[in-house]
Amino acid sequence: MNLQGKPFYRESAPQLWSFVGDTKPQFHGYRLQKDGSPEFAYSIGNIEIRERISNGAEAGSFVRHFTLSQAKDELRLNLAQDSSARIVSDKGELKDQTLTLTGDDTKSFTLTISKP
Amino acid sequence: MMCPLPFWIRLIAFAFVVVPLSSAQQAQLSDYYSFSKVPLPPTVDHQVGGLTTLSDGRIAACFDSGEVLLFDPKAGSWSEFARGLMCPLGLLEEPSGSLLVMQWSELTRLTDSDSDGKADYYETVCDGFGVTGNYHEFAYGPARDKEGNLYIALNLASNNGGVLKTVRGPWSPVGLAKEHMDASNGKQIADQYKKDAGRMYSRVPWRGWVLKITPEGKVEPFASGFRSPDGIGFDDEGRLWVTDNQGDWKATNPLYHVEKGNFYGHPASLIWREGWGERNPLEVPVEELETMRTKEAAFFPYGDMANSLTQPIATIDPTQFGLPRGELLIGDMNQPNLIRFLGEKVGGVMQGAAIPFLLTPELGIGNHRFTFDKDGALWIGKTHLKWAGDEGLMKVTWNRKPIFLIEKVKLLENGFEVRFNQALAEEAPKWKVSRHTYHYHADYGSPRVDLQEVELSEVSVSNDRKSIRLILPEIKERYLYTITADHARSMNGQPLMGHVMHYYVNTSATTEAAFEDLLGTGDLSKFTAGNKGSAWTLKDGIVSRGPEKVGSLMTRQRYKSFELKFEWKISEGGNSGVIYRSQKGRGLEYQVLDDERHIRGKTPNSSAAALYDLLEPSPDKLCHPAGEWNSARIVSNGNHIEHWLNGAKVLEIDIGSDEWNERFAKSKYKGIENFTGTESPIQFQDHGADVSFRNILIRSL
């Protein structure tokens, strides 16, 4: 596999979910969408997560689409990055690289990540 | 009634001079099978990792480039079912129609949920094992048992390569710290750490293991000690078989009958054994490992027969592919050879003969994965994975011409019985026997040790000319016997297909030293004589009931798992038996009978050597008439029961098996609680007839 271009964003699942008590992710597989792109399914503790990735509206950006189940209470995600990629969430409050979502927000939200 | 005819015609065999055969003297495979290449789409890497026949008759194949393709035989076309898989090395259809595929790092279920002909759901079934990034961590399977459990087999890593800094699973630091490996970053390990790692290593869980995955998804470590187990499959009887590859701790290519909890020889995997602790498995003395390991069911001599064994597949209906049912066919990467394995259970242990079958350049090499299609043709997927081998897909079709072949190879106490599916020609084959053994050690492979020709003491042929008995001066355990039948032809002139047999004697029918001679004291002190006195007589080593009813002769010691050998002689019209694992006199019984004159001799399951009222002996049993001695052997090993007569096993059954349950329900014993479940004295029955026994030898198992 050859990487094209320079990575501007790196993340591992445990890091993103590091505020969740049991942060060891369990991968369950993926479902192909009509366009052939995968929607990944995994769980962190009791939280079931489905995630897919699409191109962003701006050049050099992409969108992570999350759908969560079983997250009834407020949830915080760790978006700390070594790089200076710009991250925007369509739900919740993003402050000091921590995204805080209400229980309702977690049902479906997106993160848009763009080149600095 | 004893077998009334003089069944065997004896021939004395002397040393034979073996003459190399021209190809014309051996079976021409092209007379019986056609070999055709199946075109593959140019868009995929033609190395086949997995192959299976779907319930609708299509063929599914997975390829090294990560695709699963489906072949429709009617349309003659391929379609893509899935892609993006990593090093898929096994395929299996589920009852639901989904496909299971074994990838490098997980077992995946592929489901076409919208019925468009392509998988859209790639579901992780099992990733409960470690992955380090080492190049040698291949994963094989799955195989499915009758209860729906899945089994997969995992390679060890090789010290020809290192590991990635991030690995999946906990790292075992025993003998080697992770930081020493980190510098390799998946490439070469520094030379000073290679020895510590071990030639092949298991630093994350379950490398070198077979895992069981329950229908509920629970992962259970099942068996350990494997090195590179590229073949895993079940036979018709529900036995799990795994092949391994020659290398360190693997003298040559072995086939294992795999059972839960057993250790199959490569120590690296022991680190993950429950309760193992901090001991470095590579420092365990060989002698200790030797006592721990389960021995091979078969050896395939390196270079001669196979270099890297692949998948075992159970044979199908003989009318479809020409081979008897109940065998295994096994492939090899380096030689143009498909090998038959004819197994038998001896002393509760599976072992048997490996016989080259499709040995022809037309087959080619790299024969990796197999499936029989609905019409009985054998599909062969080839690979090389950058080692020796080939690529592509081949179809082998039997042309329905009957084949002259070996049907059975049976170990006798002092030799072998070889049974053919057709009568042998009058001109006898030239028999040659050699034997050798192997070292069990950390070195790569083993030379042939103590290789020697074995002079045949006697060769005898049965009246129907379908069986040959080869009598040797002795049978040595842990030796591989190579038996060659040159110039073997059937009565109608057909050459024998597969004239070389390699029989690995894991355990023999005799291990005299371990037996206790129950008459060795010269009296009957090891017996009680039933409830009617003690009038059995012992004279010249022969114990006889005499003319009057005296009650049965019973051992003082109680037995459940044991091996008993004895000789018996029944009077004309007589009936007796040897009863074991009994309650109140009712238990399993080795029938002792004059088959010819006693009415029970007309019913197979009450004839001589039968497991009385439960299981009949083989119809071709060799049985001497009333007034002559017969040798007998009973193996009662846990749930496994065998009866032998005159050196040949005539029946076997496993208590609790489907067959057992069916027979028990129809027997006179039905309804007896805990039948066979207890130890008991062994009872030499007084059934009102004159009967004699001698050479009563027993050992507990």
Residue B83 predicted with pLDDT over 90: yes
Do B108 and A29 lie within an 8 Å CB cutoff? yes
The nearest alpha carbon in chain B to A12 belongs to: B166
Please report which helix (H) or strand (E) contains residue B665, including its range.
Answer: helix B658-666
Q: Which one has a higher pLDDT value, A83 or B47?
A: B47
Given a contact cutoff of 8 angstroms between Cβ atoms, the answer to whether B339 and B358 are in contact is no
Given a contact cutoff of 8 angstroms between Cβ atoms, the answer to whether B367 and B338 are in contact is yes
Q: Provide the shortest C-alpha distance from residue B206 to chain A (in Å).
A: 18
Do A29 and B127 lie within an 8 Å CB cutoff? no
Residue B226 CA to residue B241 CA, distance in Å, equals 12
Look up residue B345 and give its two tokens: 């259970």
Residue B310 CA to residue B51 CA, distance in Å, equals 13
pTM value is 0.76
Q: Are strands B691-700 and B542-544 parallel, antiparallel or unpaired?
A: antiparallel
Stretch B68-73: mean pLDDT, rounded?
Answer: 96
Contact of A28 with chain B, judged by CB distance below 8 Å, is answered with yes
For residue range B108-156, list pLDDT tens digits in order: 999 999 999 999 999 999 999 999 999 999 999 999 999 999 999 999 9
The nearest alpha carbon in chain A to B108 belongs to: A29
Do A28 and B124 lie within an 8 Å CB cutoff? yes
Q: What DSSP letter does each residue of B400-447 carry, written as one string?
A: S-----EEEEEEETTEEEEEESSPBPSSPPEEEEEEEE---SSSBS--
Residue B84 CA to residue B61 CA, distance in Å, equals 14
Instruction: Give the C-alpha distances (Å, rounded to integers) separating B155 from B38, B62, B203, B310.
Output: 30, 19, 12, 13
Look up residue B136 and give its two tokens: 């040698």
Q: Provide the shortest C-alpha distance from residue A80 to chain B (in Å).
A: 20
Residue B513 predicted with pLDDT over 50: no
Q: What is the pLDDT of residue A19?
A: 80
Do B119 and A32 lie within an 8 Å CB cutoff? yes
Residue B617 CA to residue B148 CA, distance in Å, equals 33
Among the partner residues A29, A32, A38, nearest to B124 by beta-carbon distance? A29
Look up residue B532 and give its two tokens: 């009617």
Residue B442 predicted with pLDDT over 50: yes
Work out the burial of residue B280: count CB atoms within 10 Å of its CB; fewer than 13 is exposed, 13-18 middle, 19 or more buried.
Answer: middle
Residues of A with Cβ-Cβ distance to B116 under 8 angstroms = none
Residue B302 CA to residue B445 CA, distance in Å, equals 9
Contact of A57 with chain B, judged by CB distance below 8 Å, is answered with no
Q: What is the pLDDT of residue B520?
A: 81
Phi, psi of B401 (to 5 degrees): -75, 125
Residues of B with Cβ-Cβ distance to A32 under 8 angstroms = 118-122
For residue range A47-76, list pLDDT tens digits in order: 899 999 999 999 889 999 999 987 778 899
- 3-state secondary structure at position B321: helix
Do B124 and A32 lie within an 8 Å CB cutoff? no
Q: What is the pLDDT of residue B2?
A: 28
Window 70-99 of A, Cβ < 8 Å to B: none
Q: What DSSP letter does each residue of B612-664 carry, written as one string?
A: TTTBPPPTT---PPTTS-EEEEEEEETTEEEEEETTEEEEEEETTSHHHHHHH
Q: What is the pLDDT of residue B456?
A: 96
User: What average pLDDT does chain B have?
Assistant: 90
The nearest alpha carbon in chain A to B127 belongs to: A27
- B96-100, B367-371, B523-527: least confident range: B523-527
Give the confidence band of B5 by pLDDT, cuts at 50, 70, 90. very low
Stretch B291-316: mean pLDDT, rounded?
Answer: 93
Residues of B with Cβ-Cβ distance to A30 under 8 angstroms = 121-122
How many CB atoms are located within 10 Å of the residue B269 CB?
A: 29
Q: Which residues of B touch A (CB under 8 A)?
A: 106, 108-109, 118-124, 127
Q: What is the pLDDT of residue A60?
A: 87
What letter would DSSP give residue B131? B
Residue A79 predicted with pLDDT over 80: yes
Residues of A with Cβ-Cβ distance to B108 under 8 angstroms = 29
Q: What is the pLDDT of residue B531?
A: 56
The nearest alpha carbon in chain B to A32 belongs to: B120
Q: What is the pLDDT of residue A1?
A: 58
Residue B683 CA to residue B557 CA, distance in Å, equals 11
Work out the burial of residue A45: count CB atoms within 10 Å of its CB; fewer than 13 is exposed, 13-18 middle, 19 or more buried.
Answer: middle
Instruction: Give the C-alpha distances (Å, rounded to integers) separating B95 from A60, B1, B45, B111, B116.
Output: 45, 50, 29, 12, 19
The nearest alpha carbon in chain B to A42 belongs to: B124
Do A31 and B120 lie within an 8 Å CB cutoff? yes
Q: Which one has a higher pLDDT value, B532 or B590?
A: B590
B190 CA to centre of own chain: 41
Residue B524's contacts (CB-CB under 8 Å, 6 or more residues apart) are: B534, B536, B538, B543, B553
Given a contact cutoff of 8 angstroms between Cβ atoms, the answer to whether B537 and B553 are in contact is no
How many CB atoms are located within 10 Å of the residue B282 CB?
A: 21
Q: What is the pLDDT of residue B42?
A: 95
Q: What is the pLDDT of residue B24?
A: 40
Place of tokens 């001497």: B624
- Percent of chain B, pLDDT > 70? 94
Do B109 and A30 lie within an 8 Å CB cutoff? no
Stretch B42-57: mean pLDDT, rounded?
Answer: 97
Give the confidence band of B371 by pLDDT, cuts at 50, 70, 90. very high
Per-residue b or e along B374-409, where b marks 16 or more CB atoms closer than 10 Å to that residue's CB: eebbbbbbbbbbeeebbbbbbbbbbeeeebbbbebb
Phi, psi of B125 (to 5 degrees): -90, -40
B341 CA to centre of own chain: 7
Given a contact cutoff of 8 angstroms between Cβ atoms, the answer to whether B418 and B406 are in contact is yes
The nearest alpha carbon in chain A to B118 belongs to: A32
Stretch A78-91: mean pLDDT, rounded?
Answer: 88
Give the best-scoring range by mean pLDDT among B162-176, B605-619, B636-650: B605-619
Stretch B412-429: mean pLDDT, rounded?
Answer: 92
Stretch B49-74: mean pLDDT, rounded?
Answer: 97
The nearest alpha carbon in chain A to B119 belongs to: A32
Do A31 and B121 lie within an 8 Å CB cutoff? yes
Residue B502 predicted with pLDDT over 80: yes
Phi, psi of B596 (to 5 degrees): -70, -35
Residue B336 predicted with pLDDT over 90: yes
Q: What is the pLDDT of residue B687?
A: 85
Among B110, B120, B164, B219, most A C-beta atoms within 10 A, so best to mutate, is B120
Residue B1 predicted with pLDDT over 90: no
The nearest alpha carbon in chain A to B111 belongs to: A31
Residue B19 predicted with pLDDT over 80: no
Among A30, A42, A43, most B C-beta atoms within 10 A, so best to mutate, is A30
Please report which helix (H) or strand (E) contains residue B188, including its range.
Answer: none
For residue range B226-257, list pLDDT tens digits in order: 999 999 999 999 999 999 999 999 999 999 99
Contact of A31 with chain B, judged by CB distance below 8 Å, is answered with yes
A33 CA to centre of own chain: 18
- B103-112, B437-446, B505-514: least confident range: B505-514
For residue B567, the number of C-alpha atoms closer than 13 Å in the C-beta half-sphere is: 15
List, in sequence order, every residue forming a beta bridge with B9; answer none if it has no partner: B461
Q: Which long-range contacts (CB under 8 A, 24 or more apart) does B336-339 make?
A: B336/B360, B336/B361, B336/B362, B336/B363, B336/B364, B336/B365, B336/B367, B337/B305, B337/B306, B337/B363, B337/B367, B338/B363, B338/B367, B339/B300, B339/B305, B339/B306
Q: What is the pLDDT of residue B3?
A: 30
Do B108 and A27 lie within an 8 Å CB cutoff? no
Given a contact cutoff of 8 angstroms between Cβ atoms, the answer to whether B70 and B62 are in contact is no
- 3-state secondary structure at position A69: strand
Cis previous bond, B142, omega within 30: yes
Residue B100 predicted with pLDDT over 90: yes
Residue B425 predicted with pLDDT over 80: yes
Do A27 and B124 lie within an 8 Å CB cutoff? yes
Do B109 and A27 lie within an 8 Å CB cutoff? no
Residue B500 predicted with pLDDT over 90: yes
Nearest to A17 by CA among A46, A55, A39, A37: A46
Q: Provide the shortest C-alpha distance from residue B194 to chain A (in Å).
A: 29
Please report which helix (H) or strand (E) contains residue A114, including its range.
Answer: strand A108-114
Residues of B with Cβ-Cβ distance to A29 under 8 angstroms = 108-109, 121-124
Q: Which one has a higher pLDDT value, B522 or B171?
A: B171
Residues of A with Cβ-Cβ distance to B123 under 8 angstroms = 28-29
For residue range B617-637, list pLDDT tens digits in order: 998 888 888 998 898 999 999
Give the confidence band of B16 by pLDDT, cuts at 50, 70, 90. very low
For residue range B167-219, list pLDDT tens digits in order: 999 999 988 888 888 877 777 888 888 888 899 999 999 999 999 999 999 99
The nearest alpha carbon in chain A to B128 belongs to: A26
Residue B280's contacts (CB-CB under 8 Å, 6 or more residues apart) are: B174, B175
Residue B663 predicted with pLDDT over 90: yes
Q: Measured over all CA atoms, what is the biggest interatomic distance in chain A, rounded to whole angstroms?
A: 41
- Percent of chain B, pLDDT > 90? 74
For residue range B445-476, list pLDDT tens digits in order: 999 999 999 999 999 999 899 999 999 999 99
Stretch B492-513: mean pLDDT, rounded?
Answer: 84
Give the confidence band of B509 by pLDDT, cuts at 50, 70, 90. low
Q: Provide the shortest C-alpha distance from residue B51 to chain A (in Å).
A: 23
Q: What is the pLDDT of residue B510?
A: 55
Q: What is the pLDDT of residue B188?
A: 81
Q: What is the pLDDT of residue A4?
A: 77
Nearest to B141 by CA among B200, B201, B85, B100: B100
Given a contact cutoff of 8 angstroms between Cβ atoms, the answer to whether B376 and B317 are in contact is yes
Residue B23 predicted with pLDDT over 80: no
Residue B540's contacts (CB-CB under 8 Å, 6 or more residues apart) are: none
Do B121 and A29 lie within an 8 Å CB cutoff? yes
